[in-house]
Amino acid sequence: MSTPKMELRELGNTGLKLSCVGFGASPLGNVFGPVPMEEAVGCVRRAVDLSINFFDTSPYYGNTLSEKILGKCLKALEVPRSEYIVSTKCGRYGDGFDFSAERVTRSVDESLERLQLDYVDILQCHDIEFGSLDQIVSETLPALVKLREAGKIRFIGITGLPLDVFTYVLDRVPPGTVDVVLSYCRYGINDTALDDLIPYLKGKGVGVISASPLAMGLLTEAGPPDWHPAAPELKAACRAAAAHCKSKGKNISKLSLQYSLSNKDISTVLVGMNSVKQVNDCAFGFSRISKMQTFVKHCPYDDQVEENITAAAELATEGIDDETLSEVEDILKPVKNQSWPSGIQRT
């Protein structure tokens, strides 16, 4: 199969050009189930080969495992540093939240060591709704500005599930403090709430990253992991939508990713990918037999990296399947924009 070229999109005022499909590395921290090392390398290699240039991780994913594995993979692949963009986060850890200036400053050095990098392109305050937003404004972001001036990070971001936390912070910091927001689960077929915020973000010159186009597994045939926080009726509606697509010989994940990608105001859509069909030779010295056993055991039929990149390429050439999209939208209408509580509940 010929390699589809990934569309690059500008990220706000950063000057960065991100592949429209970004590689979400939380699965490398075993967040959705165990991912053996050789499969992780295979996924990252496949992503690079198929022209994904954006990788997102966090010290929180797998309690630092995702950062360590992503660092090893990128090092092993020997891709020139200027050819990929890495985002990691601070403030959320396996043992809780800490957005203090001291902790986030130390956190960056720890992340750089695990990632085996001299700088990260984007550093994001991870899930700010769990912290004091006033602390984010008055202490955390000023600490990150110093790190940006020191060259350890190139750009600053904030992430979260509720959307009002972004406006709270952006209304209170000097222009140019925050370069990027990462919103998740708020721009997919079942939830498009992010769309209303985009004009405001554009007005502030802030780049938009949208993560979890498959709603953290809700919009997949396999369904979400046990820990998924959605209410039963939302899970049931997504299950019905996936079954409907399957009955027509269509794939809910492909449709969902294409839907998120169709919004060109979103610079990149981060998908979590943890399986790849072809595990190539890698620098970790695994024997071919062990690779084949892993292949047979963990990913006999699917290659999420290639599937997702092909979905993007097909969207560009053929457009989206409007008929199936409209049927799925009808199924999901009763749960449209239904989210779930996250963080400190503010009145």
Point out which residues bind ligand NAD (CB under 6 A).
Answer: 24-27, 32, 56, 126-127, 159, 182, 184, 211-217, 220, 253, 270-274, 304, 307-308
Closest contact distance (angstroms) between CB of 212 and ligand NAD is 4
CB of 270 to ligand NAD, least distance (A): 4
- CB of 32 or CB of 97, closer to ligand NAD: 32
Q: Is 61 a residue of the active site?
A: yes
Of 112, 113, 108, 138, which Cα lies nearest the Cα of 124? 108
State the DSSP string of 288-307.
HHHHHHHHHHH-SS--HHHH
Q: Which is nearer to ligand NAD, 248 or 289 (CB)?
A: 248
Catalytic residue among 60, 61, 84, 259: 61
Pairwise CA distance, residues 109 & 87, whole Å: 14
What residues does 87 pair with on adjacent strands? 56, 122
| Cα(46)–Cα(277) distance, integer angstroms | 9
Residue 183 near residue 207 (C-beta atoms within 8 A): no
Contact, 52 vs 269, CB < 8 A? no
User: Least distance (Å) from ligand NAD to the CB of residue 285?
Assistant: 26
Using the minimum distance from each CB to ligand NAD, give the nearer residue, 107 or 283.
107
Token code pair at residue 152: 């350890």
In whole angstroms, what is the distance from residue 281 CA to residue 52 CA?
Answer: 19
Closer CB to ligand NAD, 78 or 209, in the complex: 209
Q: How far is the CB of 29 from ligand NAD (least distance, A)?
A: 9
Catalytic site positions: 61
